[in-house]
Structure 1
Amino acid sequence: MLSSFITLLVTIGPIETAVVFAGLTSGIHRSDRISLAARSVLIAVSVLLLFALAGGIVLSLLHISLPAFRVAGGALLFLQALTLTFSSPGLSSISEGERREAEQPGDIAVFPLAFPLIAGPGSLSAAVLVMGRAQSLVEAGGVLGMIVVCALLTWLAMLAADRLVRLLGSTGADVVGRISGVLLAGLAIQFIFDGLAAAPFLAR
């Protein structure tokens, strides 16, 4: 459960999400910001739970084995770990073009807040991977609970976005991102090891 929690927390990135949210909603009234944060988190957690529950079924329909997805997902998470460690935009970040589009009038709860900022490629892959490691219904329920907890932490971080930006500053946010990247790199390599250990051509 601890490994699942850290994997999901790092890939979702509540602090990174809060910093981007503060920039995108700087000119919006606080009551509207609260509503926007709630809707974006609800949409994102729904997508994450759907991927966690149905990801295995989709993989089987596509004839993709879980070991193969563990290796692929681990590689994807490792790339995100590198971007976090070296302080460059991650796989779940938004590009400058997406940022400019989000700053135009309109509802940004779905895009870019819910996807790809919160429920991005990294966190969606992580949801499927950690659910695939569950060995019982209790563990599967724990993984779903960890997704909800991470979403709740993200929502709280978004509500306190202005305070976090003032407290951490660019240096503090950079330090948090780099530490998260190192942790995620280790977890990503472990996913790759697990996938290779279960690979048919390596089975003894």
Structure 2
Amino acid sequence: MDFNFKEIFTAFMVLFAVIDIVGNIPIIIDLRKKAGHIQSEKASLIAGIIMIIFLFLGQSLLSLIGIDVNSFAVAGSFILFFIALEMILGITLYKDNDGDFNAITASVFPLAFPLIAGPGSLTTLLSLRAEFHIENIIAAVLLNVILIYIVLKTSSKIERIIGPNGIQIIRKVFGVILLAIAVKLFAQNIKALFI
């Protein structure tokens, strides 16, 4: 075991920025309205499990099905792009076909995956693995999961403090930020596909 607090903190901050749970509060509130309730424990736990499994098996899993990290990141950038469009334009692109959009469905998809443990955070985990010791990355993931749980649990209180107009403003601002992240993720990885 080679625990290094500097590594844990750096990995934590990188993941925190990519997951952007605070920026996702408007989406979380939106999901709660659609589903009636969100299972915070379940969403946090599933997201954490997905991230830790992907940390160990991600690279081999992708190469097994013939997908490289860059292709995965480009696909992820499209998902982020469409989520950002929903936030900025106030439209709904994601529709649950069977109409059974309940608390369990919403907690797993799209909350745990791809919103929290999405292509952005999963590709970030792969790049962190090349840089840091695995136990430090796991510690950073666990700290993020705790923080995600706290934000999910208190999102309705945050909504009351900010108010509906504040949420709309935050939603649009973070939509633009998410759009920028999607463009950056696309631009960084599309080059590698044509080399």
TM range (shorter): 0.7 to 0.9
**Residue in structure 1 matched with residue 69 of structure 2 by the alignment:** 66
Q: Compared with structure 1, are the counterparts of its residues 12 and 163 closer, same or farther at alpha carbon in structure 2 (3 Å cutoff)?
A: closer
**Residue in structure 1 matched with residue 112 of structure 2 by the alignment:** 119
Cα distance in 1 between the residues matched to 2:136 and 2:82: 26
| Kept in 1: contact 2:28–2:111 (CA 8 A) | yes
Instruction: Check if 1:129 corresponds to 2:141.
Output: no
Match of 2:60 among 26, 48, 57: 57
Moved over 6 A (4+): 93-96
| Kept in 1: contact 2:40–2:153 (CA 8 A) | yes
Normalising by structure 1, what TM-score?
Answer: 0.69
Q: Compared with structure 1, are the counterparts of its residues 16 and 145 closer, same or farther at alpha carbon in structure 2 (3 Å cutoff)?
A: farther
Q: CA RMSD in A?
A: 3.3
- Aligned-residue offset at 1:193: 1.9
- In the alignment of these two chains, the number of paired residues is 182
User: Which residue type is aligned with residue 153 of structure 2?
Assistant: L
Structure 1: runs of 5+ lacking an equivalent? 26-32, 103-107
Match of 2:147 among 145, 153, 157: 153
User: Which residue type is aligned with residue 123 of structure 2?
Assistant: L
Structure 2: runs of 5+ lacking an equivalent? 1-10
- Aligned-residue offset at 1:183: 1.6
Counterpart mapping for 1:35-114 below 5 A:
36-89=39-92, 97-99=99-101, 102=102, 108=103, 110-113=104-107
**Residue in structure 1 matched with residue 8 of structure 2 by the alignment:** none
Instruction: Check if 1:162 corresponds to 2:173.
Output: no
> Secondary structure of 1:77's match?
helix
Q: Compared with structure 1, are the counterparts of its residues 40 and 185 closer, same or farther at alpha carbon in structure 2 (3 Å cutoff)?
A: closer
**Kindly, what percent of the aligned residue pairs are identical?**
17
User: Which residue type is aligned with residue 142 of structure 2?
Assistant: V
Match of 1:24 among 28, 36, 56: 36
Normalising by structure 2, what TM-score?
Answer: 0.72
> Secondary structure of 1:188's match?
helix
- Aligned-residue offset at 1:143: 5.3
User: Which residue type is aligned with residue 111 of structure 2?
Assistant: I
